[in-house]
Amino acid sequence: MNYQKIRAQVENPLLTAFGALSPAVPVFFDNITAAPANSTTEYVRVNVTFGLTNDPTLTSSVDNARGAIVIRCFSKKGEGPARNQTLITTAVDVLETLNDSTKGTTGTYFKVGSIEGPSFSSTEDAPLFMGRIETSYVATVLS
């Protein structure tokens, strides 16, 4: 399977977009240790999950996968939602741009579904204010 190619489709543009913010916001993906526990500095957590996939042995050259993308933006607590909303907007813009790509003969064709959220939560125990959006995706690796 081409899991890495599929991940790259969503992770690279998100990394670029959050890096371009002022100040730049660190982004953590699956299996990368995020900010230390109880951190009070802002960061973004991106999780790409894989659901059902097909195997290249079933079709000669195409890999299909579908799953979910969940983006959580953590910003300082007690300072209003504006900063968190800026981070959420950045993520939504990236996801919407992904749908602009057209299907070619090589590379990875990636489409996201409708975006759910944002939902915000801030509990007494959690050190940061959290904004969350989620969407589904389908990806086809063409070769």
Partner 1 sequence: MAVSKNKNFVKNIKKKIGDEARLQINRVAREATKEVMNGLAEEGPVWSGRFRDSWVAEGKGSKTKGGKVGSYPYSLWNVPKLSITLKELNRAKRIEIRNTTTYAAIAMDKEPGIFQIKNKQGSFITNPTPVKNKSGYLQRGTRVSGLRGDIEGGSGNNRSTAPLDWYKNFISGGKYTQALERGIRLARVRPTQKDEGIIK
**Residues near partner 1, by CB under 8 A:** 33-37, 39, 45, 47, 49-52, 66-68, 70, 72, 74, 113, 119, 121, 123, 125-128, 130, 132, 134-137
What's the min distance (Å) between Cβ of 105 and partner 1?
Answer: 26
CA 7 remoteness from chain centre: 9
Neighbouring residues of 47: CB distance < 8 A, sequence distance ≥ 6: 29, 30, 68, 69, 70, 71, 72
Report the distance separating Cα 80 and Cα 65, nearest Å.
38
Q: Which is nearer to partner 1, 20 or 30 (CB)?
A: 30
Nearer residue to partner 1 within complex by CB, 94 or 118: 118
For the bound state, the minimum distance from the C-beta of residue 38 to partner 1, rounded and expressed in Å, comes to: 8
In DSSP terms, 111 is beta-bridged to 138
